[in-house]
Structure 1
Amino acid sequence: MADIDLGDERAEELSTLQSIYPELTLHASDPFTAHIDLLVAPISTLPVIFEPDRDVRRLAYLPPLHVEITLPAEYPAAAPPAVKLSTTRSWLPTATLEALSKEARSLWAEYGGGPVLYAYVSYLQEAAETAFGLSELTLASGMKADLLAYSKQMKRELFDKETFDCGVCLEPKKGSACYRMERCNHVFCVACLQDYYANCIQEGDVDNVKCMSTECGTKKANRKKDRLSPKELLQIPLALETVQRYAKIKRKKKIEADPTIIFCPRSWCQGAMRTKKYPKITDVREMGESESEAEDPVAPEERKEATAGPEKRRVGTTGMDRLAVCEDCNLAFCTVCLASWHGDFVRCEPRDSSQLTEDDQASLNFIMRNTSPCPTCEVPCQKSYGCNHMTCFQCKTHFCYLCSAWLNPDQPYQHFNNKRNKGCYQRLMDMAEGDVAQADVRFGGRRGAEQVAEFWEQEAMRIQMELNEEDIRTGR
């Protein structure tokens, strides 16, 4: 490096500027030439239009502004600093660069021939915060990949250097150990997110895989938007197998809740019919919000028709409208009679809805004997332990496990303290160890009616057996 005259005013100014901006670098062969890269992070993200596709992206960070300053011998008394500005990939318009360069001369004239380097660098920093006055930017599509990658990298690097209080464990953590939610920007440590989300997914509670902040999900219209996409879960990161299970459970729940979906009639398959509404999952690593959260509502007329039974669905269902193909075993079958596809012009009769396979009947019997239905959505619920104040897993309705009565969420235990509720009075802790389907446990509502019906059915069978034995003894 060339020797610097410490008595030179230029050297003193560069030394002062370097103490303020340690990233300022002096040229190896010219002690009065320096350069610095200034961060370009607009306060409001800058819309960038990539031509010719007109793909609009909002970038939080853009490649830095490279500033090269040369101080001539006449500076500062008789000559302004020589400034050369540039950016990587030349994303900033030439006219803007020229206007920024001219500002160095204007400041020098305004300061009356005094030192202006600090004022000029500060001016450039302020201009960068407003994206140099640009409301939008139009660039060639060939620059898109580099600019998007840079913005993402800078966002991560700056985030890693900060310190945050985790919204769950409340401990201060470095950004490198945290994750910022994409939609709401709430920050949690990765360990808390992994533990909570992995547990929810393992238990099948995929609706709670969302931001854990109390500020999110308070508005009903935004509850679905607060849920995370598989792609974001992998960024936290969660294990690929866990995210695959998450995506499969979400899809399964949507399919089962849609009455327009018909299932394969093969007892060993029971796969859903192929549908564009719920495409099969191929790669969760590419599943963003549009694929994981888009839930097209079922039209009222579709729901009415789908829940009316096969004999009603047949009305208006003609030709290929009846054809469905199982997504698992590829069986082509008729949606009306559930038989293998018999062609467009064959008249078919709907299958009796009472026809159940042996396995279906066994499952139905178990559900009837060992679960209590939610009074709102009728989903069967089984208690594994605790009191008889239940909260429906699906719709969050509060209800009594003994009689399926709706409970006031503000005063759920009043039901068990009311003497008028003779069947449930002071029975809050009955079956605290779980539903074991004991014969001496009395239920009310639908389940109680099933108990009574089963009791009298068994009584009738017992009496018939006694009569048969009496006939055998007497020879009748």
Structure 2
Amino acid sequence: MSTQDQEAQVDELLALTSIYSDTEFKRNNAAPGGEIQLCLELPADFEISIKSNSATNSSADNFENTVSFLPPIVLNFELPPGYPSTTPPNFTLSCKWLTPTQLSLLCQRLDDLWEENSGCVVIFPWIQFLKEETLDYLNIKSPYEIDVSSNGLQSWMQTTEKTCEDGVSLEKAPYDKRAIQDVQSVPALVRCILDFNEAQQKKVFDSKLFLCNICFMEKLGSECTHFKACEHVYCNYCLKDYFEIQIKDGQVHALNCPEPKCPSVATPAQVKDLVGEQLFSRYDRLLLQSSLDLMADIAYCPRLTCQTPVLKEQKSAMCICSACQYAFCIYCKRAFHGISYCRVTPAQLIELAREYLDADKKGKIELEKRYGPLKKIAEDIQNKEWIQENSKPCPSCKAPIEKIEGCNKMTCSGCKQNFCWLCLKVLSQENPYQHFDDPTECFNRLHVRN
């Protein structure tokens, strides 16, 4: 190798190292060369679809989405002793979403660029072409469709007539051994595209400044949380305090975007990143419990030391806890009692009787199956309530007295005691009307309605 070639190679590799980050350019320490990853700039709202040509094609094998980034084109190169004076770099091109035919065309274009720049370093012109002109050169526009053959690799031949910028038919382009296609299957390709797009979007988000509408301070995206459904952004410090208060209060369904009336909800991953492992465990437990509470076929083991969720048996009042094997009644939560009625306290019986009165015919039948005859009890309670609302007790014998008509001087039909309906004071037997003439009593209120 001439000294001039050696110096040119060293300078070019040093320039690449200084321009590109460690994730973009990896220098080969064993030989002069390296690997550079080139992420293309896509048009806005770039649509991509993947169609499988396999015999067992199903909807799961097809994919359509709008992306902002696609996995990079990878240029792997090695600088031979005669470079750049006489010999071009040895290289391979690989990409997950370009067909081998398309990659072969790009390899041919890199050879042409070497011929045009013969005797000069060429890695930078290659990089510039691949990064800025690949889409136009291969005539790739949105929506872009990738065909995948039955063996899982992208098809070399497209189903429609396509040409590159130079007018060369893609169908007729020869396959170049330097073109490497390493996709195993449609799911693998889809997963790779989605993961890379999400990672790059986060990278861009982390580097931007956003105004938090809680503390009204500008923060880098790396210090913020992004609600994707509504596009609202808040700083992690404010959201952490907000979520911690909600979780401690048991409001696990209120971990939504703080923007007024915004329905966007934080993902479990976002909650975990903000509040930490311990508080997230409480959130996860309460969220599960609240979800189970909404399920009609779930009951909890009534033992305080257990409380395991139990799936209710169909057409049976018995549940058996899978954790402690306790068999219990789903209605009264006591030990299962077979065909016997559920035992209830007097207070519970009164509530059940009121529920029975308000229930429809089907509801009344169900209640009597569980708790026995409730009709007589409900009628007794209804009568007692009516008596309490429409009568007053005799001040002498406490018998309930109903006033239908007449004056306020009453006589108990049981003990024959005279009394005032208004104040329930016992009146004299000789002159009961004197009470209504006394200014200190119910003066002039003999015929007043109460």
For normalisation by structure 2, the TM-score amounts to 0.47
When Rg is computed on C-alpha atoms for both structures, the one with the higher figure is: 2
